[in-house]
Structures are given as C-alpha cells and as structure tokens.
Amino acid sequence: MTRPLWIEVDLRALRNNLGAVKKYLGPKVKIVATIKQSAYGHGLLPIARELGRQGVDCFGLGSVEEAIALREDGFEGSLLVLSAVLDEFVSHFIHYNIIPTVVDLGFARKLDKAAKVAKKIVPIHVKIDTGMGRLGIYYNKAHDFIKKLSNFKNLSLEGIYTHFSVADSDKKFTNQQISVFNNFIKQLAKEKITFKFCHCANSIGIIKYPNAHFNMVRPGLILYGIEAAKGLNLNLKPVLSLKSKIIFIKKITKGRSVSYGRNYIAKGTRNIATVAVGYADGYPWALSNKSRVIIKDDFFNLAGRICMDHIMIDLGRRADIKVGDEVILIGRSKRKKLSIKELAKIANTISYEIVSCLSLKIPRIYRNFLKVK
C-alpha cells in the first residue's frame, strides 16, 4: 500500500458476537444476519463466508446485486433483500433463488406470473408498516393486501415483518409497534393465513425487547461488536479497526494556523503530524478539531479541519513520534481505545453512518481465520 491506510477485520470477534447472540436467543429463534451495504463497511463476501461457516440461517441484504454476488460466490442458503425492488427486475429473484420483500401488489403479480412460467414457487417476505413510515403497507390497510397475496399460486408466504422507528428512545411506542404486529399476525392466523417466519427485532430490539423476538430476528450492529443499546451484557467484541500512518511532521510556532479556515491556531511551539486519511475515505469531516487518535498507546487531538485526503494531529512537544508510526483512528492499543460509538457521538451522527461510509477503496485485511482441521 503506497498510501498507508487500511481496515483490519477481526473474524474471531465476529464469531464471538454471533455466538453470543445465538446463545442469548436460544435455538428456536432463527437469525437473519444483516450484511447489507457491504456488511456495514466490513466487506460483503468475507463476512458472509465467515458467518455462513458458522451456520447463519439467512442473510439480509440491501440490494439484488449483493444477493447475486453471494450466489456467484457459491452461497446456497437463504437470501432476503430488505428493500423494495422495481417490477422490471422480478426475474432476478427467480433465476438466483432470492427472497424478495413484497410491499406492492403489482410487483407480486409480475413475480407470480414469472414464477409460473419458470415452474417455481417463490418464497416472499411481506413487510407491513407499524410506525416506521417507510416501506410497507400500513397495518390497518394490510389485511386485504395479504389476502390477495395469499391467492397467488406461485408465491409462498414465507415471512412477515415490520421495522422499529424509535426502539432506542421510545419504549412505549416500540411496544405499541410490537403489539400491533403481534395482533395482526394472530388475526391472520384465525383466517388460516400463516407465515413460517415473523420478525421485527433489529439489534436494539434483540437487546431491549425480548417480546419482539418472535421466531426470527435481524441483528446488524451487534454482530460487528458495536453497542446498540445498554441493558444486556453480551460481551461483544469490536470487529473493525481503522488505521493509518504518519506521512509528515513539521514544527510550528505560536500563532501559526493549521488547515482550512484557520480554525486551529497554535498557542505555542507544537509538532504537527499529517496522517493519510480524510473525508473522501469516509472519515467524517464533522470530527474536525474535535476527535482524537491513538499513537504509541497515547491519545492525541486532531488539529484543524479534516481535508479530503489528510488529517493533522497535534503531537505537542513529543519528539519520539516519527514518520511511519502507526495511527489508530478506530480500534485499540494496549491501554487505549477509540470506539465507533465514540466517534459517532463526537460527529453528532450514528454508528451505522461511521462504518457504512468507510470507502470501499480502503484495503480490508482479515485476521484470525478459523483453522480448519
């Protein structure tokens, strides 16, 4: 790497986190491992391979393209696309054996017709809206929709699900969503319309709302060792680290400025290090002058605005730090750590954005593969 910037992905930590989730849920609850958007920035295929080896029941994906990539990589298990897809692409679900999320009758009609031609029965998951206001038919209008879906002979009602909107901040509303979803399923069952899988719990739902587990859940953040909510100690381990190196050091004197906007003015003689990472790599510009890094097992603050390709670090008067020394932007040294959640808080954003925005151009290095005897 001529540009010293890389991501390290700890597969042992990934195995630990999946194992912790499985143990907590028990054998009756199936897992849709959410690996959309390149497994939250961790790398789609390597993460899918590792989770597949650990016996994950199903993968939750953000696009047909991601599902096709897994099929072409040899994965034969269940793949669920967690988004609506335009009608013109129904053939992909049939050809690649991919499970669609169905929220539109027109899409279902075309899917059923194509499945009939292919002489196949296509499993589908129906999404209803209980308060998210995004995809899905509102629950109070979904009854007739699902009855019509049940009449399509080449579609199988495998799953039904919904999504929480405020599971992290509003327990009352979330429990209302769970209650609405549960009652809706029971009402359908009275009419002999049943689903093999019912799911609504994401990572926060798994931790904070055991009544939302049903018989399937959709963990995302917690698989990657990112704390989704407090209240349950699963002993999660961070999977991703982001690292770079110092590429230049200069001494500046009192009154000198650093970076665009002259937001940093030296109050005395300082050593300033330039590090090979910037906002084009997904390191948030909002961290400018606010965040810190780890060098030689010590914290050092950012100096000035984050640039497209560089950040600057205030080394103080430290003279033992040299060009080529490692810089930890996310991760841990022997005594210090910088979590994704900490960076998200400083940048006034969410952990999802921190990891999913890391550029796919950054090399990913996968460590601690499980040795096969």
Q: What's the confidence (pLDDT) of residue 373?
A: 58
Choosing from 36, 208, 243, 245, the catalytic residue is 36
Considering Cα of 12, then 13, then 17, then 20, what sign does the dihedral take?
positive
257 with 314, same domain: the answer is yes
122 with 257, same domain: the answer is no
207 with 249, same domain: the answer is no
Rounded average pLDDT over 56-72: 96
Could you report the per-residue pLDDT of 250-277, keeping only the tens digit for each?
Answer: 999 999 999 999 999 999 999 999 999 9
The CATH number covering residue 316 comes to: 2.40.37.10
34 with 113, same domain: the answer is yes
Q: Is residue 18 part of a domain?
A: yes
Report the 10 Å Cβ neighbour count for 360. Answer: 13
273 with 220, same domain: the answer is no
269 with 192, same domain: the answer is no
Could you report the per-residue pLDDT of 242-251, keeping only the tens digit for each?
Answer: 999 999 999 9
Q: Is residue 57 part of a domain?
A: yes
184 with 39, same domain: the answer is yes
Tokens matching residue 46: 């390597």
**CA atoms lying within 13 Å on the CB side of residue 24:** 24
75 with 188, same domain: the answer is yes
Provide the terminal-to-terminal Cα distance of the chain, rounded to the nearest Å: 32
Could you report the per-residue pLDDT of 320-347, keeping only the tens digit for each?
Answer: 999 999 999 999 999 999 999 999 999 9
Q: Is residue 230 part of a domain?
A: no
Q: What's the confidence (pLDDT) of residue 230?
A: 74
**For a pLDDT cut of 90, what percent of the chain falls above it?**
95
Q: Is residue 232 part of a domain?
A: no
Choosing from 23, 147, 251, 260, the catalytic residue is 260
The CATH number covering residue 145 comes to: 3.20.20.10
112 with 245, same domain: the answer is no
Instruction: Identify the domain boundary among 224, 249, 278.
Output: 224
Q: Is residue 264 part of a domain?
A: yes
Q: What's the confidence (pLDDT) of residue 372?
A: 63
Could you report the per-residue pLDDT of 289-320, keeping only the tens digit for each?
Answer: 999 999 999 999 999 999 999 999 999 999 99
260 is catalytic: yes
**371 confidence band (pLDDT: 50, 70, 90):** confident
53 with 171, same domain: the answer is yes
Domain count, the chain: 2
Which has the closest alpha carbon to 175: 140, 197, 142, 200? 200
Instruction: Identify the domain boundary among 224, 251, 282.
Output: 224
Distances (CA, A) of 89 to 75, 76, 93, 151, 219: 21, 21, 8, 22, 27
The range of the structural domain enclosing residue 93 comes to: 10-224
User: Longest Cα pair distance anywhere in the chain, in angstroms?
Assistant: 78
321 with 296, same domain: the answer is yes
Rounded average pLDDT over 133-146: 94
pLDDT at 141 over 80: yes
264 is catalytic: no
Q: What is the mean pLDDT of the chain?
A: 96
Report the 10 Å Cβ neighbour count for 53. Answer: 13
Could you report the per-residue pLDDT of 180-229, keeping only the tens digit for each?
Answer: 999 999 999 999 999 999 999 999 999 999 999 999 999 999 999 998 77
Q: What's the confidence (pLDDT) of residue 229?
A: 72
What is the C-alpha to C-alpha distance for residues 132 and 342, in angstroms, rounded to an integer? 27
Q: What's the confidence (pLDDT) of residue 217?
A: 98
252 with 218, same domain: the answer is no
